[in-house]
Amino acid sequence: MRNAFIKTLSSLAKKDNRVTLITGDLGFGVLTDFAKQFPKQFFNAGVAEQNMTGLATGLALEGKIVFTYSIANFSTLRCLEQIRNDAAYHHCNVNVVAVGGGFSYGQLGFSHHATEDLSILRVLPEVSVYSPCDAWEVEQSVKHMVQKSGTGYLRLDRSGPANLKAHEPFIVGKPRVVREGKDLTIVATGGIIEVALSVADNFAKKGVDARVLSVHTLRPFDPTPIVQAARETKGIITLEEQTVHGGLGGLVAENLLELGTIPKKFYRIGLRAGFTTIVGDQNYLREYYNVGHKALTDKVSEMLQSP
């Protein structure tokens, strides 16, 4: 996903010299070519994310379209006040790019486990929140971020399937059907959709037809595909690699209830209580914290067996 991001941003920077990238002293294996190609559109702010966000806001106020780049917790939580008070409040074109969503950096421990970011950024007024599942959705998200006004958040994952062959176009805010199905619906955001697709394929061998939706934008959000799924399938399971509190599951539930659409069955899969205290690679931690293949397989089986 990082490569898709920088490839797309480089293409846009060639056409528009307002496009500017600021790194928090990392990502040079990915960002080196951008820095060489656009030296006047690239800054290294050092390990100083609050300053980085303040610098981004100042550049945006001067007409630049700015992207900040760092590991998820550092580009969001460490400088949340600056994102809220400086960038968002002043409607600045500051786009926060977070690499390592969820357990992408699982082996580096709790400080690098980005498990609350979607919930926190989603509640900030006028901040658009993007969580693409594959390289194509990354490309579409970045293109939209450059064109829109205001502050944005882009969560990039180390995992994710190869570009999905889905017929539905990328419409900001509207979940995309990446697998058709009539029996139940799995709604996922980000790279963990690879788990949803794998489990759906396994159940297809048993005659179960699962629909899979990619929520690539959590804000804005068009609930129409979710409402259709609630009416057309036997239940909805949400899947996210972060806390269920205020995240994707909450977003889906809020919209369904407000619209008076109650699915026959509904369950949220995500982190539920306590901090993450174990280290390991992404797949190991998904399974350990019950957001991986086993948790989803068990919940699908339970949903199919219940009356």
- Domain assignments of the chain as residue spans, ordered by start: 2-156, 176-305
User: Is the pLDDT at 93 greater than 80, yes or no?
Assistant: yes
Burial class of residue 258, CB neighbours in 10 A (0-12, 13-18, 19+): exposed
Mean pLDDT, range 207-227, rounded to an integer: 98
> Model pTM?
0.96
Residue 50 structure tokens: 């609050």
- Residues 170-190 have a mean pLDDT of 97
State phi, psi for 82 to the nearest 5 degrees: -70, -35
142-166 mean pLDDT? 88
Q: What percent of the chain has pLDDT over 70?
A: 98
- 145-155: pLDDT as tens digits: 999 999 999 99
Place of tokens 């980000």: 190
Query: From CA 288, how far away is CA 299, in angstroms rounded?
Result: 16
What distances in angstroms separate CA 281 from CA 163, 235, 239, 284, 300, one per listed residue? 23, 31, 19, 5, 25
Which CATH superfamily does the domain covering 2-156 fall into? Thiamin diphosphate (ThDP)-binding fold, Pyr/PP domains (3.40.50.970)
Q: Which long-range contacts (CB under 8 A, 24 or more apart) does 46-50 make?
A: 48/24, 49/24, 49/74, 49/75, 49/78, 49/79, 50/78, 50/79, 50/81, 50/82
8 A C-beta contact, residue 242 and residue 193 = no
The CATH fold assigned to 176-305 is: Rossmann fold (3.40.50)
Backbone dihedral angles phi then psi of residue 116, each to the nearest 5 degrees: -130, -5
176 SS3 class: strand
Q: Is the pLDDT of residue 161 over 80?
A: no
Closest CA to 214 of 126, 97, 134: 134
Scan for tokens 């959709």, then name that residue.
193
Domain 2-156 shares a fold with domain 176-305: yes
Are 209 and 232 in contact by the 8 Å Cβ rule? The answer is no
User: What distance lies between CA 23 and its chain's CA centroid?
Assistant: 19
Mean pLDDT of 56-75: 98
255-276: pLDDT as tens digits: 999 999 999 999 999 999 889 9
